[in-house]
Structure 1
Amino acid sequence: MNKEKIAIMVDSCTDVPKEYREKYNMYVIPLMIIYKDKEYYDGIDITPEDVYARFAKEIPSTSLPSPEITYNTFKKIQADGYKKVIVISISSGLSNTYSMVSSTAKELEELEICVIDTKNIGIGAGFSAIMAGELIEKGLDFKTVCQKVQENVEHTRIYFCVSTLEYLKKGGRIGLVTSILGTALDLKPIISCNEEGVYYTVAKVRGRVKSLKKAQELAVNMAKNYEKYNITIMHGNAKEEADKIAEELKTLLPGVNVCVEGQITPALIVHTGPGLIGIGVQRVNW
């Protein structure tokens, strides 16, 4: 039920899986992946495998979606008969995407547009888009959907582990994560986004196995604060580890509403490198 003709727009780094993009007819504006010889649209003309294969020769950079593509996507939404748009953006503390979309939205007087800064990254942001889709399907009005999604931002978090901080540092996305983690001690950070949407270190654990276990523990403890919740286990070329964690989480957390699993989008790979594991939780109160 969508009586108010509400559309959902996301940027590609919200990492909403295809099944949910199709279910809720989401419009996607892609970030750009920039190599020395060519630029690519995130998730459109470049795959995760492409990025991994080229790491040995070049670590590319990324940039926000172009204002032109964003404007044209809004016009497409209007042409498709929608009157209102909820835009879900990755954290303004990590990207200028939110600022650019907000600025572009002011040019579309024919549409009522609400842009939500999730203060999060990847499916941690994408959960807000899935929530918006569920609420619209339930028949809630535009203002209420926007309000409920915004209120739930602080109840959504993703904990992630990377094999190395090299990619975050090179991409300028290191945030508040300390780079003093010595190789001799094999200290691994569990990273999340703080209230400002900037990366910070939640904990430091010795070794890969213990770091993954700690991230899982943090997610389980958060989920237990809620009667119902969504969970996610996303990975960057680490499917075997992700599958094992997913199996354990489904046993530990019986109140799951939605469980999202899979490989992260190419633009996120650029900043995290191979070996990422992300474990996320979102409160379900609707």
Structure 2
Amino acid sequence: MPKIVIITDTDSSLPVDLAQKHHITQVPITIHFGEETYTTGVDINDQKLFEIVDHRKILPTTSAPPPNAFVNAYKEAFENGAETIICICVSSKISATFNAAEAACELFPDKDIVVIDALNLCMAQGFMALAAAEAVEKGASKQEVIQAVEDIQKRVHVFGALPTLKYLAMGGRMGKLAAGLADTLNIKPILTARNGKLELLEKVRTSKKAEQRLLELAVLSTQGKKIERIAMIHVNNQAGVEKLYQQLCEMIPCPPHPILADFTPGLSVHAGSGVIGFVILTD
């Protein structure tokens, strides 16, 4: 194990194989259907989440990992030879995960642990964890790894489109009548990550126009810049996001091998099934 270990949480949307390749530990977000608790990446994924939601007609609640989950991750890293831990958490503006990771540090008063608030989510956070792990692989110092994370924070662009508002209505974030009317009118919300939160950017009519608007936003956010990395994000809609990537490549120069990533349950429960989007890292 490297002397500097990178830890994040599953709201990073990092594919498991990619996290394993770079020795990144992901502490899971938990999902609660009443008394039943599921753990992201262990016994629930986006597909199973919405199978349960559509069957029971209710949305679950989510919770940040408890401090003990981070205690266990820190303990394992130190037992395996780590000298420093850098933990990159989903935005503190949408989750208590950062607070839990910091609280866990109190049990390791003599250890070197740095907890970073990504102030972002999904693969924007995932790109930070990847940059940190790659810096470690190149022999970077602790400060250089932290600088690599902070550098990514300024260069990520997150956009997505919702195919339906019914899940927002189920979660109480929108009235059922208004959501039903919006779906009847074929209104598709466009989302972006802004100020540490996933926010509504605008609304358009029809899925085709939503896809077109996502492409326009990609062009606008990359004007005069080179795309270093791109992650295509979806919730149970791999075909839709692969099509979006092909359309994107026709409009701007894209890296040949995008990361294809599930949004993951801790985030997708708030957006709904069918979401497509992307996270772009520019130079």
Q: Shared fold (TM-score greater than 0.5)?
A: yes
Give the match for residue 121 of structure 1.
121
Q: What is the CA deviation profile of residues 171-202 of structure 1, one whole-angstrom value per residue up to 9, with x for unaligned ones? A: 5778xxx989944543322111212x123222
- Is 2:275 the partner of 1:276? yes
Structure 1 range deviating more: 215-224 or 87-96:
215-224
Q: Which runs of 5+ in 1 are unaligned?
A: none
Q: Structure 1 residue 105: deviation in Å?
A: 2.0
Q: Which residue of 1 aligns with 2:239?
A: 240
Identity level (%): 28
TM-score relative to the length of structure 1: 0.87
CA RMSD, Structure 1 to Structure 2 (Å): 2.5
Equivalent residue in structure 2 for 1:34, among 26, 32, 35: 32
Partner of 2:262: 263
Deviation at 1:158, TM superposition (A): 1.1
Cα contact 2:13–2:261 (8 A) shared by 1: no
Match for residue 162 of structure 2? 162
Q: Per residue, is there more helix in 1 or in 2?
A: 2
1:213-249 per-residue CA deviation (whole Å, 9 max, x = no partner) reads: 2112212332344234211111111122111112233
Change (3 A) 1:80 1:99: same
Task: Tell me if structure 2 keeps the 8 A contact 1:167–1:271.
Answer: yes
Q: Quick one: which amino acid aligns to residue 242 of structure 2? A: D
Give structure 1 regions of 4+ aligned residues with deviation exceeding 6 angstroms.
178-181
> Secondary structure of 1:55's match?
helix
Aligned equivalent of 2:6, options 3, 8, 11: 8
Map 1:21-100 to 2 at 5 A. 21-56=19-54, 57=56, 58-100=58-100
Amino acid at match of 2:90: I
Structure 1 CA distance for aligned equivalents of residues 49 and 81 of structure 2: 37
1:147 counterpart SS class: helix
Q: 1:18 to 1:186 in 2, by over 3 A?
A: same
Deviations 1:243-283 (A, max 9, x none): 11122334444353862113332332322221111211113
Contact 1:83–1:110 (8 Å) recurs in 2: no
What TM-score comes out, normalization by structure 2 length?
Answer: 0.88
Opposite residue 258 of structure 2, the aligned amino acid is: C
265 and 199 in structure 1: CA distance in 2 versus 1, 3 angstrom threshold: closer
Classify 1:201/1:111 alpha carbon distance in 2 versus 1 (closer, same or farther; 3 Å): same
Superposed CA deviations along residues 52-86 of structure 1, whole A, max 9, x for unmatched, are 21112132111000111111111111001001111
Q: Give ranges in structure 2 of 5+ residues lacking alignment.
A: none
Distance 1:256 1:36 in 2: 43
Give the direction of change, closer, same or farther, for the CA distance of 1:203–1:106 in structure 2 (3 Å limit): same
**What amino acid is aligned across from residue 262 of structure 1 in structure 2?**
A
Query: How many residues are aligned here?
Result: 278
Partners of 2:110 and 2:167 in 1: how far apart?
Answer: 41
Mapped to 1, the partners of 2:185 and 2:76 lie a distance apart of: 53
| Separation in structure 1 between the aligned mates of residue 80 and residue 189 of structure 2, nearest angstrom | 45
Residue 207 of structure 2 is aligned to residue 208 of structure 1: yes
